[in-house]
């Protein structure tokens, strides 16, 4: 029991993230007073809508790299961007959040009765040469690659916490979390599960990095949270402990499963494999079974089905909000001056077919037709660019104007990429850029300009 408090207090750092928000809800359900901290670098306050309804939940915008002033008996340290896209966006913040965050928690816990459950990661094993990975495996990590800010940051945090255990008897417990998925994952975190589900539900091709033969083992969020809570209930835990679901599948198999469960008719598209992407990953959970009776309950089909339902609901609500906003803005814009938007719509209609046929010619390797079409597409993109800037000049100040301006920038970037691909005679890239980047951009522009 906390000093003077009726309820035990738990601090969750990274509370507004995917795992953090689920954990806060679970702890509230267990009768804890919960303090959540998040700097909102990748967290999202809407994740906390449900937790914030509880009078026992307290949220603070704060950074774990700053001194922490909360008195809590139990600390769950989840504060760190965790998806490759997010952690590579700001590698400095990623590494310092891991290492300085752990340091702050040690400062807070030294000399107090406080248990820290630190979220480490399967990334400490890097691209493993031992399969499945037991806790005794030391890993195979590149110290200077694109993933290093996360991998090495987490490894260094483990070192720091273990030294604090030895030197000051800080009760720091380390769990190594393997790929986890479930409702509330961010649409744009770039992770494979969120990407595939969003793509399948919106009719975009599923992006397979490499040949799709690399494997991962996916754990449903409720199982993972159960593991965290059980770890906290132990009297003591020495040494790190894996938490994850050992059910392993290749990324190609995952794509097929998502297509099947969403009933999507979409295709697959190959993209380059990111640097240092681990070829295989599967937790050895012998230790977690022994220590906390950990046994994941939700298999991948059941978990994906729940996750797909959640994504579908959230996408539908975003779409209806957007439509409502677009209807409103369109009405205002039309009232001001209908002409430039109508001209833009005409220019897009005239070009879309051209673009499609240019993409086909490039894909079929029809060189002659492809280069004729490319010239025509460049001309029509020029016209669209002119119409776009005409339109945003008129609507400057309204959100429509700002959106059109962003489209202008994206169009210019895409045209630069297209010219680059043309210079290196890269037909596949031209076709991909036209089909997957240019056409969707024009569809969005067209929706805004639709009379």
Footprint on this chain of ligand UDP (rule: CB under 6 A):
83-84, 179, 190-192, 195, 207-209, 214, 216, 251, 273-274, 277
What's the count of helices (H) and strands (E) in the chain, helices before strands? 14, 13
In whole angstroms, the minimum distance from the beta carbon of 351 to ligand UDP comes to 29
In contact, 225 and 23? CB cutoff 8 Å:
yes
- Cβ at position 254, least distance to ligand UDP in Å: 8
d(C-alpha 289, C-alpha 156), whole Å: 26
DSSP code, position 250: E
Check if 137 is active-site: no
Rg of the Cα trace of the chain?
A: 25
Residue 417 CB, shortest distance to ligand UDP, in Å, is: 19
- Which residue among the candidates 56, 92, 137, 150 is catalytic per the annotation? 150
DSSP helix/strand/coil, 140: strand
Nearer Cβ to ligand UDP (2/274): 274
From the CB of 406, what's the least distance to ligand UDP, in Å? Answer: 23
d(CA 356, CA 370): 11
CB-wise, 190 or 401, nearer to ligand UDP?
Answer: 190
Cα–Cα distance for residue pair 274/429, rounded to 1 Å: 17
- Residue 216: Cβ-neighbour burial (10 angstroms; 0-12, 13-18, 19+): buried
Q: Is the peptide bond before 132 cis (omega within 30 degrees of 0)?
A: yes
> Which string of DSSP letters, residue by residue, matches 22-41?
HHHHHHHHTT-EEEEEE--S
Nearer to ligand UDP, 22 or 191 (CB): 191
Closest contact distance (angstroms) between CB of 436 and ligand UDP is 13
- Cα gap 402→382, rounded to integer Å: 20
CB 153 within 8 A of CB 80: yes
Eight-state DSSP code of residue 130? S
Q: How far is the CB of 190 from ligand UDP (least distance, A)?
A: 6
> 205 or 340: whose CB is closer to ligand UDP?
205
**Would you say 274 or 401 has its CB closer to ligand UDP?**
274
Contact 230, 222 (CB under 8 A): no
Nearest approach, Cβ of residue 85 and ligand UDP (Å): 7
Nearer to ligand UDP, 221 or 411 (CB): 221
Instruction: Render the burial of 95-134: b for 16+ CB within 10 Å, e for the rest.
Output: bbbbbbbbbbbbebbeeeebbbbbbbbbbbbbbbeeebbe
With a CB cutoff of 8 Å and minimum separation 6, the contacts of 437 are 414, 417
Nearest approach in angstroms of CB 82 to ligand UDP is 8
Contact 91, 149 (CB under 8 A): yes
Tell me how far apart the alpha carbons of residues 159 and 153 are, in angstroms, rounded to a whole number: 10
Which of 123/135 has CB closer to ligand UDP?
Answer: 123
Contact 352, 439 (CB under 8 A): yes
Residue 290: CB atoms within 10 A of its CB come to: 10
- The encoded tokens of residue 54 equal 């509880």
Judged by beta carbon, residue 34 or residue 82, the one nearer ligand UDP is 82
Catalytic positions: 150
């Amino acid at each position: 029991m906390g000093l003077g408090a009726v309820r035990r207090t738990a601090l969750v750092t990274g509370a507004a993230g995917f795992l953090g928000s689920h954990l806060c809800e679970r702890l509230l359900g267990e009768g804890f007073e919960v303090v959540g901290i998040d700097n909102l670098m990748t967290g999202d306050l809407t994740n906390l809508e449900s937790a914030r309804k509880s009078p026992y939940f307290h949220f603070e915008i704060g950074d774990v790299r700053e001194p922490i002033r909360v008195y809590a008996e139990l600390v769950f340290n989840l504060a760190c961007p965790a998806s490759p896209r997010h952690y590579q966006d700001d590698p400095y913040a990623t590494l310092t959040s891991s290492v300085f965050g752990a340091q702050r928690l040690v400062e807070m816990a030294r000399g107090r009765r406080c248990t820290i459950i630190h979220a480490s990661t399967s990334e400490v094993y890097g691209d493993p040469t031992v399969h499945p990975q037991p806790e005794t495996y030391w890993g195979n990590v590149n110290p200077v690659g694109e993933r290093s800010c996360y991998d090495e940051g987490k490894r260094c945090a483990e070192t720091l916490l273990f030294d604090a255990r030895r030197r000051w008897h800080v009760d720091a417990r380390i769990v190594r979390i393997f790929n986890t998925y479930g409702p509330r994952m961010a649409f744009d975190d770039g992770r494979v599960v969120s990407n595939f589900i969003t793509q399948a539900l919106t009719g975009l091709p599923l992006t397979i990095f490499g040949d799709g033969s690399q494997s991962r083992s996916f754990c449903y969020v409720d199982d993972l949270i159960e593991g965290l809570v059980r770890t906290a209930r132990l009297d003591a835990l020495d040494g790190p402990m894996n938490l994850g679901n050992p059910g392993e599948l290749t990324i190609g198999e995952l794509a097929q499963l998502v297509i099947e469960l969403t009933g999507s008719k979409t295709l697959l598209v190959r993209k380059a494999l990111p640097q240092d992407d681990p070829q295989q990953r599967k937790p050895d959970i012998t230790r977690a079974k022994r220590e906390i009776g950990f046994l994941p309950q939700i298999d991948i089909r059941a978990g994906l089905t729940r996750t797909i339902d959640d994504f579908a609901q959230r996408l539908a609500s975003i779409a209806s909000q957007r439509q409502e906003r677009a209807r409103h803005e369109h009405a205002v814009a039309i009232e001001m001056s209908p002409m430039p938007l109508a001209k833009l719509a005409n220019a897009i209609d005239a070009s879309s077919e051209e673009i499609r046929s240019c993409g086909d010619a490039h894909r079929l390797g029809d060189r002659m037709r492809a280069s004729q079409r490319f010239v025509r597409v460049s001309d029509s993109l020029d016209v669209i660019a002119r119409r776009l800037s005409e339109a945003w000049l008129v609507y400057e100040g309204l959100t429509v104007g700002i959106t059109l301006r962003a489209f202008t920038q994206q169009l210019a970037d895409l045209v630069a990429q297209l010219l680059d691909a043309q210079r290196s005679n890269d037909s596949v890239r031209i076709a991909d850029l036209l089909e997957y980047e240019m056409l969707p951009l024009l569809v969005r522009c067209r929706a805004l300009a639709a009379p």
